[in-house]
Structure 1
Amino acid sequence: MRVVKLIVVLVISGIWLNGCGNDDGLSLSEPLENEVNEFVWSAMNIFYYWQAEVPDLSDSKNDFSLNTFLNSYSTPESLFDDLLYEDDRFSWIVDDYEELEASFQGVSKSFGYDLGLVRISSESDDLMAYIKYVVPGGPAESAGLKRGDIFTQVDGAQLTIGNYISALFQSTNYTLTLATIQDNTILQTDQEVSLTAVELSENPILLSEVLEVDGVKVGYLMYNQFINNNSYHEELNNVFGTFNTEGITDVVLDLRYNGGGSLLTSRILASMLYGNASSDDILGSIIYNDKLAEFNSDLSFLTSIPVFDSEGEQTSTLPMNRLNLNRIFILTSGSSASASEFIIAGLQPYMDVTLIGTTTVGKNVGSVTLYDSDDYLKSGVLNPNHKYAIQPIISQLANSVGFTDYIDGFDPNIEVNEIDYLEDLKPLGDPSEPLLAEALGVITGVARVERPNDSGMEAIRIAPKQTETILLDDESVPNVIKSMILN
C-alpha cells in the first residue's frame, strides 16, 4: 500500500463514511478501473514542478470525484498527457521501466550511429540525413559507415518531414541509399547499406585526445551522455589524469551531441574542470514545487568518486584528477541539452566559458523516475502488476548565482554550423574540423578554418531521446522524496 494514500472521508449528519460507500449502499465514489491511473495522478500531484498550474492536479481532486475522473481515461498514457503543463516539452511515461533504466546506462537497441537531419530547402519537405558519428563495434561501423556519410532514402523511399520518425525510429532493420554532395548539389548513388539494430552499450567518452597545435597542448574531450556509472566515472577520471600528466593548458569540451543525463555525473565533470573549487563553492541548486520546497538542497561540488565492490558497497574513494583552468571552450549544437546546459550555467560564475557552434536546446529543468511503489522509488515496495514508470519534470535548476533563465538555450559566442560543411565533414578530433578549429584558433591566436557560404539547409530537431534530460539521481533527491512521503 502506498504511504500517501488517497482516503476520502465525508461527514453526513454526523456520520463518517468511507469513500467506498456505506451499509445502506450509498456510493460516494465509483470503483477505480485502472490502478496505474491512480499512480500517475498521485505522483504528479505530489512531485510535478507545475502541479499548481494544472487544474486537474489540484488537491481538490483528492475527494470522491477522483475515481470518476481517472476512469474517464482508457490508458495511463492519455491521462499523463492531459496532466502536462502546456509549456512542458520534456516529461514522459513508459510502460517498461527496465528498458528506461537500461537507456540511462547507455544500453539500448541501436544501429550504432547518431544522425542529423537536414531540410534540403525551405520550399521542400524532403530531408537528407548525415551521420554525426558511429559507435565503435556497432552495426554501422561493421557496415563501413562513417562520420559524414549522407543518405536520402530509407527502404527506397525519400525521407520527408512526414515520414522520418516511422522510417528511422520505429524499425529495427532498414536499408539506406547513400548520396553525396558536390557544389551544394545532392547526388544519388547506387550504394545501399542494410542495417539491423542490436542491443548496444555506448561509452559516453567517444573521443579524448591531447592536441599539440602551434606549441600549445590542448585537451579535447567528446562526451556524449552523462551516465551515472562508476566505471565510466573512473574512465573519465583517467582522461583528466592524462590531461594533467601531459600538461595541457586548455580544454575543448565537445557537448554538441550530448542531450543530457545524470546530474551527479555533470557535477563530477564540472569538478574536474574547475579544480580551484573550495568547499564553499556550489554548482547550483534544485528548485522544487511548493510541496517539496522545504526540502530544497544545494548541490555541492564533489571531491572524490565512489568506488564500489561487486556487491555495490562503497569500499574506498578514488582521488579526483582536477585541472586548474580559468577558461574553457565548449562546443554546442541544437542537440546539446539538460545536463550539458547545466554544466555551462554552473561553470559560468567561476570560469570564462566560450561557446562555439549553434544554440542549445534550452532545458533548465530536472526529472526523476517515479515508480508505483510505497515511496515512488525503485527501492520501495513495487506494484508487481505492471512496469509503468513516469519521468516527470520535478524541478528547475539554478546555478550558484541563481541564474535559471536559459529556456531559449545558450547562444554561441562564435557561431559555426556543421551542416554548412557537409560536403567534406572532417573527422571528430581533427584540428581542421570546423568547430574544434575555431576553438584552437582562439587558443593559439591563429585562424584555422575558412568560413563557407551559407548552404541554405536547415537542421531539423529530431524528436528528443529519452536520455535528453537532467536526471536527478543524486542521493539528496531520493532523500527529499522519502522525507516528503514520510512526513
Structure 2
Amino acid sequence: MGKGDKTMRLIDKLRMITALIIIIALLVPTAVFAEENEFSFEQMAEIFEKLSDYHVSGVSESELSEAAADAMLKVLNDPYTEYFTEEEWDAYESSLQQNYVGIGVQLNEDETGIFIDIVFPGSPAEAAGLKAGDYFTEVNGESMIGIEMSELVSKVKGPEDTTVNITVKRGQEMIGFELTRKQIQLPVITSESFDGSVGYIQLTSFTDKAGELFVEELEALQENEDLNGLVVDLRNNPGGYLHAALEIAEQFIEDGVLMYTRDQDGDTEAIEIEDGNSLSIPVVVLVNGNSASASEVLSGALQDYEIATILGEQTFGKGSVQNLLPLSDGGVLKVTTYEYLTPNQNKVNQVGITPDIEVENGAAQLIRGLYEAGAEQIEIAIEDESWELNGVEFKTVIDVIEEDKNKYVPSRILSAIIQGKITWNPELKAVEITTEETSATFPIVSEGLMNVNGTTYIDLSEFEKQFPDFNWGVNEDIITLDVD
C-alpha cells in the first residue's frame, strides 16, 4: 500500500469519528453530557499531565499551574481573593507596612487630573525637584491623561535602582524628570497639637504595629492637660490588619461590638471589645473615597456608638475580610471569607460609610474638623508649597489664583473658615454660602467668582465685603486668613 493510500484511509477514519461525534451530540441532550461529565480533580490532573507531555508548544508545568490558579480565581469574580508567589507576598507585605520601591510621593486627584499631594522628605522625588501640585502628564513617554490612579502608580513603581521618566505640568510649564526608584519607608503615623488644645493623629495604614503606635501617640497628646478635642485622620488609608483596628477602637469603646462578620451561609458572629477605654472629649474622624477596609471598620464603629463625628466624603466600600492561607511552596492565598457589618449591622461592602458631615476639599475638611473638635479660632497661612493651620504645617498645596492683583481661593476653603454652608444654585449659576448671621451669593458671571475645571474660586476682597468678620492679608508672599 502506498503512502497516499494510508493517508486517505486515515482521513476517512477521522471523518467517520467526527461524524459519529456529531450524530451522538444531536441524539443525546446536552444536560446528559453535563451530568455525566461533571469535572473532577482527577480529570484536571489528567488534562494537566497530557498537555504538559504532548502539546506542541512545550508548555511547562509551572505555566499550566499558574494559568489554572488564575482561572480558579477569575471565576470567583472577587478582586480581593488573590494568589501570591513567595516573592509577590514579600512585596505585598512590605506595602502593608508602608514600605515599597518607588519615587516617594503621595498622589491625589481632581477634575484636572492626578497630581502630587505630598513629596516625602529624603525621597528621589524631593532630590529631583518634583513639587506638591505637579500634575502627571507622561510616564516613560506614555500619556497619563484620563488614566486610573492605580494604573499610574503601577507604571511609576518598579524594581529598585531602575529609572523612570516622568513629565509633569507645573502651572503652564511642562517639565521632565528622570528618577531612580529607591526603597521608600512611609511614616505610618504622625501627630500634632493645634495650639495645645486639639490633638491630631494621622494614620496612613493599619500596619501590624499601628495599634501600638496609635496608643503611644494618643498617650503623648493626653499628657497635655489642656487637650479638649481630637482629630483622627484616616483619609487615603486603604486599611490593613484587622487586629490593629481593634486595638485602636479599644481606646474609644469600653465594651461592645467592633463589627459583625457574615459567612457564606449568612451566619453572623460578633467581634467584641472588652475592657476598653473611653475619651471624654470631642472626637472627629476624617475620611474620603480612599478610606477603605480597616478604616471603615473603625469609623463605622465610632459612628454607630456616637463616639466620633465622621467628616469628609463617602468612603470606598470594602466591606469584606480576607484570611491569609500559607501554601507549601512559600506562597500565600488571600481568601475572602466574610462580609462585615457595622455594630448597628449596616452594610459596608460596595456602599461605604456615609459621613455625618459631608465636606469636599482636603484643606476644608481639616478646617471644619478642627472646629468640630473644639477649636475656637482658625488662623491660616498659605505659601507656595505648603500651608499652616493654627501653627501646624501641612506639605500640601492650596491653589491660589492671581489675576489683575486679585487673589482667588477655593470657595470651599473660605466657607469652612467662616463655618458656612456652601451650595451651588444651578438656576442662578452661583455659589451660595450661608452662616447663622449672613448669606451671600457669588454669581459665575461676576468678577468675584472664577470657575476653573469645575472648582470655584472667590476673590478674597469680595469675600471680605460679604463676610466682614473674615480677614485676610499678604506678608512677604504669605497669604493669611482668619476670622474675628
Is the Cα contact below 8 Å between 1:267 and 1:302 reproduced in 2?
no
Mapped partners of 2:116, 2:278: distance in 1: 33
Q: Which has the higher contact order (CA 8 A, sep 6+)?
A: 1
Consecutive unaligned residues of structure 1, counting only runs of 5 or more, are 1-59, 121-127, 182-186, 305-321, 373-382, 420-432, 459-487
Q: Tell me the amino acid that sits aligned with residue 134 of structure 1.
A: V
Is the Cα contact below 8 Å between 1:438 and 1:447 reproduced in 2?
no
Is the Cα contact below 8 Å between 1:118 and 1:457 reproduced in 2?
no
Determine the structure 2 residue equivalent to 1:204. 188
1:431-471, Cα deviation, whole Å (9 max, x unpaired): xx32201112334477883158775469xxxxxxxxxxxxx
Is the Cα contact below 8 Å between 2:101 and 2:157 reproduced in 1?
no
Length-normalised TM-score, structure 1: 0.59
Q: CA 1:416–1:401 in 2, change beyond 3 Å: closer, same or farther?
A: closer
Q: CA 1:396–1:174 in 2, change beyond 3 Å: closer, same or farther?
A: same
Please point out which of 155, 173, 177 is paired with 1:193.
Answer: 177
Matched, 1:148 2:133: yes
Please point out which of 395, 408, 411 is paired with 2:338.
Answer: 395
Cα displacement (A) at 1:85: 6.0
SS of the residue corresponding to residue 348 of structure 1 reads: helix
1:208-258, Cα deviation, whole Å (9 max, x unpaired): 10113xxx81111111000012xx544322211122112422211111110
Q: CA 1:88–1:397 in 2, change beyond 3 Å: closer, same or farther?
A: same
Mapped partners of 1:351, 1:159: distance in 2: 42
Mapped partners of 1:287, 1:157: distance in 2: 44
Matched, 1:450 2:414: yes
Mapped partners of 2:249, 2:347: distance in 1: 18
Please point out which of 207, 220, 225 is paired with 1:242.
Answer: 220
Count how many residue pairs are aligned between Structure 1 and Structure 2: 332
Please point out which of 286, 300, 315 is paired with 1:345.
Answer: 300
Is the Cα contact below 8 Å between 1:108 and 1:201 reproduced in 2?
yes
**Dislocated runs of 4+, deviation >6 Å:** 69-73, 445-448
Mapped partners of 1:217, 1:101: distance in 2: 37
Mapped partners of 1:156, 1:83: distance in 2: 33
Q: CA 1:358–1:77 in 2, change beyond 3 Å: closer, same or farther?
A: farther
Q: Tell me the amino acid that sits aligned with residue 149 of structure 1.
A: D
SS of the residue corresponding to residue 439 of structure 1 reads: helix
Q: Tell me the amino acid that sits aligned with residue 79 of structure 2.
A: R
Determine the structure 2 residue equivalent to 1:226. 206
Matched, 1:409 2:352: yes
Please point out which of 299, 322, 330 is paired with 1:367.
Answer: 322
Consecutive unaligned residues of structure 2, counting only runs of 5 or more, are 1-37, 52-62, 380-412, 416-448, 456-484
Q: CA 1:453–1:137 in 2, change beyond 3 Å: closer, same or farther?
A: same
Determine the structure 2 residue equivalent to 1:435. 365
Mapped partners of 2:242, 2:341: distance in 1: 13
1:309-353, Cα deviation, whole Å (9 max, x unpaired): xxxxxxxxxxxxx55146432222221100001111122232243
Mapped partners of 2:122, 2:99: distance in 1: 13
Determine the structure 2 residue equivalent to 1:277. 254
Cα displacement (A) at 1:78: 5.4
Is the Cα contact below 8 Å between 1:268 and 1:302 reproduced in 2?
no
Q: Percent identity?
A: 22
- State how 1:49-68 maps to structure 2 within 5 Å: 64-67=42-45
Is the Cα contact below 8 Å between 1:77 and 1:93 reproduced in 2?
no
Q: Tell me the amino acid that sits aligned with residue 271 of structure 2.
A: L
Is the Cα contact below 8 Å between 2:102 and 2:156 reproduced in 1?
no
- State how 1:63-142 maps to structure 2 within 5 Å: 64-67=42-45, 74-76=64-66, 79-84=69-74, 88-96=78-86, 97-118=89-110, 120=112, 128-142=113-127
Mapped partners of 1:303, 1:76: distance in 2: 47
More helix by share: 2
Q: CA 1:235–1:389 in 2, change beyond 3 Å: closer, same or farther?
A: closer
Mapped partners of 1:269, 1:260: distance in 2: 13
Q: Which moved more, 1:388-397 or 1:153-162?
A: 153-162
- State how 1:305-344 maps to structure 2 within 5 Å: 324-325=279-280, 327-344=282-299
Q: Tell me the amino acid that sits aligned with residue 370 of structure 1.
A: L
Cα displacement (A) at 1:204: 0.9
SS of the residue corresponding to residue 237 of structure 1 reads: helix
Determine the structure 1 residue equivalent to 2:262. 287
Determine the structure 2 residue equivalent to 1:258. 237
Mapped partners of 2:357, 2:377: distance in 1: 15
Determine the structure 2 residue equivalent to 1:476. none
Q: CA 1:413–1:403 in 2, change beyond 3 Å: closer, same or farther?
A: closer
Mapped partners of 1:417, 1:77: distance in 2: 44
1:82-109, Cα deviation, whole Å (9 max, x unpaired): 4456663322222222323333322221
Is the Cα contact below 8 Å between 1:240 and 1:323 reproduced in 2?
no
Cα displacement (A) at 1:267: 1.0
